[in-house]
Amino acid sequence: MRVYNFSAGPSMLPLEVLEKAASEMTEYGASGQSVMEMSHRSKEYGAIIESAECLLRKVLSIPDNYKVLFLQGGASSQFAMIPLNLMTKNGKADYVITGQWAKKAYKEGCRYGQCRAVASSEDKTFSYIPELNSADFDKDADYFHICYNNTIYGTKYYKLPETGNVPLVADMSSSILSEEIDVSKFGMIYAGAQKNMGPAGLTVVIIREDLIGEPQAITPTMFTYQTHADNGSMFNTPPTYAIYILKLVLEWIENIGGIKVLEEKNKKKAALLYDFLDHSEMFHPTVMGASRSMMNVPFVTGNDELDKKFIAECTKNGFVNIKGHRSVGGMRASIYNAMPYEGVEALVNFMKKFEEENK
């Protein structure tokens, strides 16, 4: 029996995608081989990666002057690749610190140039998105970096910073494909695939072509965006199977009506869970106000022993990976695209039952 998997990543995939992949596991089409066995230089695989890029461009309405790169190394590798490739004109960049990943990106950026923390929400355990004033931004910065959705702390941006001519760079690992976005407002978007796009091992970069210029002289060949842009993400062997699963996920999104339909589904799931948390006497959300993530919902009881008991009971009853991150404690329900409304509904009903039985 499949459980309801509330993991922050790697996360659950749509059942239809898993079943399709299972049916093609030993033979893809009439190729006589699994996608796992295919040469990335083969005609069959070339069609797969081309289809994945075309579908991603369609689903996210990516403008023609942006390159789509399929890379490896996780989003964490981008913490170095971004300054190495983009911090090349004035050697400066602005960062907003809204969680551990933003903090790590900032720390890594500081190794390659002059990085400045424009604002931070660390004073309240990253439980909100700080107010930003464009007057505080450095007009000479080579880029402005944000973490669009904060997986650990359950916050997201609903209003983008006004950065003018400074390219906005966003880590969208835990929110990409969950809602409509205007790609043209960003200089670059990057995301680890293991939340909403597919299995771990693939990192997607969407970057405006004019930003793929001369990297810093010390930049390794494999860390140069130009290397991958010039070779269609085929400079070396890409994460072939993960790209194939991304293609299936994108087909699934298309089949259910596209990103707008998916966004409405995600809003309903989040509203159901937050509404319960806001009215519960036992469970309390850790994020209040307008910064709440649709994807990651942390909550606590205020009693460590009760939290432990709830997590254990959840696991017994088929609600797995609901333990919160150690820096926040308590619980966290990650309700990515593949989590059905019925899964959130079942969790809420279980929480009501647990609350009644543990008064």
- From CA 19, how far away is CA 8, in angstroms rounded? 22
**Residue among 155, 179, 152 nearest 59 (CA):** 179
Q: Give me the active site residues, please.
A: 101, 171, 195
Between CA 33 and CA 41, with CA 36 as vertex, the angle to 5 degrees is 85
Strand 284-285 versus strand 296-300 pairing type: antiparallel
* pLDDT for res 213: 83
| 15-255, CATH topology level | Aspartate Aminotransferase; domain 2 (3.40.640)
> Which residue has 């205020």 as its token pair?
302
| 4-13+258-357, CATH topology level | Aspartate Aminotransferase, domain 1 (3.90.1150)
| Cβ pair 183, 57 in contact under 8 A | no
- From CA 337, how far away is CA 67, in angstroms rounded? 25
Q: Is 93 strand, coil or helix?
A: strand
Q: What are the structural domain ranges in the chain?
A: 4-13+258-357, 15-255
3-state SS of the chain: helix, strand, coil percent to 5?
Answer: 40, 15, 45
Between CA 103 and CA 111, with CA 107 as vertex, the angle to 5 degrees is 165
For the entire predicted model, the pTM comes to: 0.97
* pLDDT for res 327: 82
Strand partners, 67: 207
Q: What are the 10-residue block averages of pLDDT along the chain, 359 residues in total? A: 95 97 96 96 97 98 98 97 97 98 98 97 95 95 98 97 97 98 98 97 98 94 97 97 98 97 98 98 94 97 96 97 92 98 98 95
Q: Is 55 strand, coil or helix?
A: helix
